[in-house]
């Protein structure tokens, strides 16, 4: 027989029992910042996050912020590590991550010739394991790496020889700038949104931050006159990252959904950039194409191999990555067309 005390106790416990599932079902919210400004983000990240939010529904929502909206790009890593931002889309180099693999993010000189080289290096040649090791040490989850566009110079004055590069003040990535400095390029670091005005005012002579697709998409083709067809890397290597605690708090199905949407983003960029680079070279009317002769440009490619060995000497981990680059490029040359030729 139920006593008055048992009844009151049970009645008091009932609301708490009913409330528990509701608390468990409260929507997870993440803040994510990309390296890209709004015009570029429309292609390189917006579709993936919109898909994620649509599928996650009432379970989770990612609020996306563009370049420098919450923190400067160079502070992205620290903000994510602290949990100020839950997730980031960037390359290692730009966000100044304190890892042994930072120099390989963005445009590492001549590490790739085509955009497909990047996912193969990560998924089939062992880079994923190295990136996972390095970021796990510093409390960050490396979720997925993918390729963007090749790296070309967009300039106000024509570049037709290595001599023409000397003294040119260029907005570029830290490691790419470090490499090209030996050819007289003066690397300049500025907030992403200031680049267009800096070219107009003469603070910059050019940009080596992208391929021609981005030059047109973000407005840089409106302030530069020439596009150099020689490139210092075949594809930008960037990744999706998350604060490790926030990642571990996600249920497995939302982790998997995030990975799938990252893969969708990688796929979108593969065809968007690949087609855009070709069509704008053929049909674009804003910039004149220039080239440095192959024999002269070989000097730059040869210098890259010396640069690789310099980087490899800096640490055991860097040496492991360089060894993978060498093995991969050797394999591609042996494979021949369409992998490597010429």
Q: Quick one: 49 and 117 in the same domain? A: yes
Residues 6+ away with beta carbon under 8 Å from 7: none
What is this structure's pTM?
0.89
The total domain count for the chain is 2
Q: Quick one: 156 and 50 in the same domain? A: no
Q: Quick one: 141 and 161 in the same domain? A: no
pLDDT means per 10 residues, the chain with 342 residues, are 42 45 72 95 97 98 96 95 97 94 96 97 98 97 97 98 98 94 96 93 97 96 98 96 98 98 97 97 97 97 97 98 98 95 71
Q: Quick one: 97 and 143 in the same domain? A: yes
Q: Quick one: 108 and 243 in the same domain? A: yes
Residues 6+ away with beta carbon under 8 Å from 298: none
The pLDDT score that the predictor gives to residue 25 is 63
Give a yes or no: residue 163 inside a domain: yes
**Cα–Cα distance between 161 and 270 in angstroms, integer?**
30
Q: Quick one: 208 and 77 in the same domain? A: no
Q: Quick one: 223 and 303 in the same domain? A: yes
Q: Are strands 169-172 and 206-210 parallel, antiparallel or unpaired?
A: parallel
The pLDDT score that the predictor gives to residue 3 is 43
Q: Quick one: 210 and 91 in the same domain? A: no
Q: Quick one: 63 and 191 in the same domain? A: no
3-class DSSP state of 297 = helix
The pLDDT score that the predictor gives to residue 13 is 47
Q: How many other C-beta atoms are found inside a 10 Å radius of the C-beta of residue 141?
A: 22
Which residue range is the domain that position 114 belongs to?
Answer: 28-148+237-277
Q: Quick one: 298 and 168 in the same domain? A: yes
Q: Quick one: 328 and 195 in the same domain? A: yes
CATH number of the CATH domain containing 257? 3.40.190.170
């Amino acid at each position: 027989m139920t006593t008055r005390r048992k009844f009151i106790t049970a009645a008091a416990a009932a609301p708490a029992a009913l409330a528990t599932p509701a608390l468990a079902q409260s929507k997870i919210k993440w803040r994510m910042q990309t390296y890209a400004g709004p015009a570029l983000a429309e292609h390189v990240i917006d579709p993936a996050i919109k898909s994620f939010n649509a599928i996650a529904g009432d379970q989770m929502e990612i609020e996306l912020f563009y370049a420098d909206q919450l923190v400067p790009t160079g502070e992205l890593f620290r903000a994510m590590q602290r949990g100020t931002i839950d997730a980031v889309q960037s390359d290692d180099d730009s966000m100044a991550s304190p890892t042994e693999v930072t120099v390989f993010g963005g445009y590492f000189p001549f590490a790739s010739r085509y955009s497909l080289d990047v996912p193969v290096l990560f998924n089939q040649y062992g880079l994923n394991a190295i990136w996972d090791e390095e970021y796990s040490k510093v409390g960050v989850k490396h979720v997925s790496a993918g390729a963007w566009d090749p790296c070309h110079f967009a300039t106000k004055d024509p570049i037709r020889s290595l001599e023409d590069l000397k003294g040119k003040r260029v907005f570029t990535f830290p490691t790419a700038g470090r490499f090209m400095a030996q050819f007289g390029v003066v690397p300049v670091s500025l907030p992403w949104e200031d680049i267009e005005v800096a070219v107009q005012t003469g603070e910059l002579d050019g940009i080596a931050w992208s391929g021609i697709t981005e030059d047109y998409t973000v407005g840089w083709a409106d302030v530069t006159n020439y596009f150099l067809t020689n490139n210092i890397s075949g594809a930008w290597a960037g990744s999706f990252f998350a604060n490790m605690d926030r990642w571990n708090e996600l249920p497995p199905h939302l982790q998997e959904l995030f990975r799938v949407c990252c893969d969708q983003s990688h796929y979108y960029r593969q065809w968007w950039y690949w087609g855009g680079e070709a069509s704008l070279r053929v049909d674009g009317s804003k910039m004149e194409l220039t080239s440095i002769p192959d024999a002269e440009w070989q000097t730059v490619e040869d210098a890259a191999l010396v640069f690789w060995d310099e980087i490899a000497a800096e640490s055991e981990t860097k040496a492991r990555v360089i060894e993978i680059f060498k093995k991969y490029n050797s394999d591609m040359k042996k494979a021949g067309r369409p992998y490597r030729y010429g």
